[in-house]
Amino acid sequence: MRPSVYIMMSTYNGEHYVSEQIESILNQSHVDVTIAIRDDGSSDNTMDILNSYAKKHSNISVICGDNLGFAGSFWSLLLSAPLTYDYYAFSDQDDVWEANKLAAAIHVLRQSDNKLKLYASALQVTDENLNVQYKNEFPKLKIKLGSAITRPRLSGCTMVFGSELLRLCQSYDITKINGAGISHDVAVYLTALSCGGKVLFSRKSYIKLRRHASTVTGHGKSIFKRIASVLDIFTKRKLEASIQTEFLYNNLKEHMTPDSILMCEDILHYRDSVKNTVAFAKDKRNKCNIMSVDIVNLFAILFRCY
């Protein structure tokens, strides 16, 4: 029996590329897909395109919603997702998936018995015409809660996970966080890591992430804007990590492992004294093994920006 996969896609003014992405999902091999699409208040012809697909395909449903921003839109889809599917995945509106993207993810997931397992992969970043610019493989990346809280590196468009992790994520609402937003994919990632889940990362890429001027994620920005986004940690995103940690800690503590509880408490109290700050800066649990990221993290901790 072919595994069933529930795809959550948020769209916003995506008329130029969304058809190509939907076609690549419909063409997935060895799986049965259902595509739930929520439009986040588009002002172009996106809804017309989506409704046309929904009329032709019984496995596509479309919701026209108010503008919540991409994280809120995706989380709305997640909260309403039925728990009756084998696997769940996020989809951006403008990427293109290789035909075996989901089957490859499921093959990896089936090798683990962990109920909160999460798959993510490398990706090929392309220009608007799908010419590959570079590949994000993160060859030295160490996946652990401390470094994921400070600088998450995995992309939601590559993620695939099961119903148990979905159920746990549905127990809270990221739109209720006060003071700092948290993206849908980061929330799923941190939930898996903090609650004893297994993150399975593949350095094989089955997705072309289209990079263009209107892309809302970091991959769509110029190199200068991406650098500026990192530097935001010291300014307008200051204390974001602590606010997000406190939110997850308050909502998931009863499900967290003892080590995760300790990690969260150390983050929440590292600013209490100079001793705590220095100790936390030296803490290997914060290291992701990517030198540039670890250097930024070191200064962000010493300046108490997390």
87 and 210, same domain (yes or no): yes
58 shares its domain with 170? yes
Residue 304, both tokens: 């108490």
Question: d(Cα 178, Cα 164) in Å, to the nearest integer?
Answer: 27
pTM for this predicted structure: 0.94
DSSP E strand stretches across the chain: 4-11, 32-39, 60-64, 87-91, 96-97, 118-121, 123-126, 132-136, 160-161, 199-202, 207-210
- Domain co-membership, 152 together with 241: no
How many whole angstroms separate alpha carbon 289 and alpha carbon 284?
10
Residue 236: give the domain boundaries: 229-302
Same domain, 213 and 268: no
The domain total for the chain is 2
Is 269 in the same domain as 209?
A: no
Domain boundary residue, one of 174, 195, 221: 221
Are 216 and 233 in a shared domain? Answer: no
**CATH number of 84's domain:** 3.90.550.10
Tell me which of 180, 197, 221 is where a domain ends.
Answer: 221
Paired residues of 9 in beta bridges: 37, 91
Longest dimension (CA), the chain: 63
Q: Give the sheet arrangement for strand 32-39, strand by strand.
A: 60-64, 32-39, 4-11, 87-91, 160-161, 118-121, 199-202
Of 192, 221, 250, the residue at which a domain comes to its end is: 221
Is residue 11 within 8 Å of residue 38, measured between CB atoms?
A: yes
pLDDT average per 10 residues of sequence, the chain (306 residues): 97 98 98 98 98 98 96 98 98 98 98 98 96 91 91 93 98 90 96 98 96 58 64 87 95 98 96 96 91 90 93
Claim to verify: residue 133 and residue 212 sit in the same structural domain = yes
State whether 136 and 283 are in the same domain: no
pLDDT at 213: 61
Shared domain for 182 and 286, answered yes or no, is no
What residues pair up with 163 in beta bridges, in sequence order? none
Quick one: 15 and 158 in the same domain?
yes
Do 165 and 265 share a domain, yes or no?
no
Do 298 and 191 share a structural domain?
Answer: no
